[in-house]
Amino acid sequence: MKITRHLHACVEINHHGYTLIIDPGSFGVPESLASADAVLITHGHPDHLDQQALLRAHRTNPGMVIYAPAFLADELPVEAHAVDHGQSFTIGGIPIEVVGSKHAMITHTQDVPENIGYLIGGRILHPGDNFQPIRDVDVALVPVNGPWVKMLDVEAWLKKFPPKHFVGIHDGIVNEHGLAINTKILTLLADKYGSTYLPLAPGDSLDLGV
């Protein structure tokens, strides 16, 4: 199973020739979107979902299977399977568990949408825009920047639910100086809480083996 980081919160997973893409957002979608076997969407914010790019990809590849939170699935311009917290399904021989139900709070005056995370193959966690209480995963994809998240939140989650490894995502609004600071802080936090930080840049891949 191979993980490839793309821009911001978008991640690609390849397993025995099957391609799965999570959260192809408006910061830039990968070329592989048009040939993906499946797309998983955590919520509808544009930085996680470029609806027009998804529509174009689906027209090119109508066999693509799409999964999204129930409220969002009905609004998409393409057919999507509605999924909720606690459900599970299998695609391409990969078991998927749906976790969580709410987006983290951004401000006290702003409503937030439903947000779900995905536990993929029991090994990889993509939480969307929240921190999911899942222990002992091989690789957690951890949001590290944005209007709703700060490093104290990352630390609190790592302390309580340390994964074996984690990759920082949701950093598309950060410049190169901020990314360097992120790497330093996240490496220190990983060392403190018994995890390993993997500083994957967009385009980098990690092979987990079988």
At 138-151, the pLDDT tens digits run 999 999 999 999 99
Confidence of residue 210 (pLDDT cuts 50, 70, 90): low
Q: List Cβ neighbours of 47 (8 Å cut-off, separation of 6 or more).
A: 8, 9, 25, 26, 27, 172
Q: What's the rounded mean pLDDT across residues 112-118?
A: 92
Confidence of residue 155 (pLDDT cuts 50, 70, 90): very high
Confidence (pLDDT) at 19: 98
Q: Mean pLDDT of all residues in the chain?
A: 95
Q: What is the mean pLDDT of residues 26-44?
A: 96
Tell me how far apart the alpha carbons of residues 41 and 56 are, in angstroms, rounded to a whole number: 16
Residue 199 pLDDT greater than 80, yes or no: yes
Region 36-46: mean pLDDT is 97
Would you tell me which CATH number, out of the four given (3.40.50.800, 3.90.190.20, 3.60.15.10, 2.102.10.10), belongs to the domain 2-199? 3.60.15.10
pTM: 0.95
The structural domains of the chain, with segments of one domain joined by +, span 2-199
Please write the tens of the pLDDT for every residue from 72-89.
Answer: 999 999 999 999 999 999
* Residue 101 banded pLDDT, cuts 50, 70, 90: confident
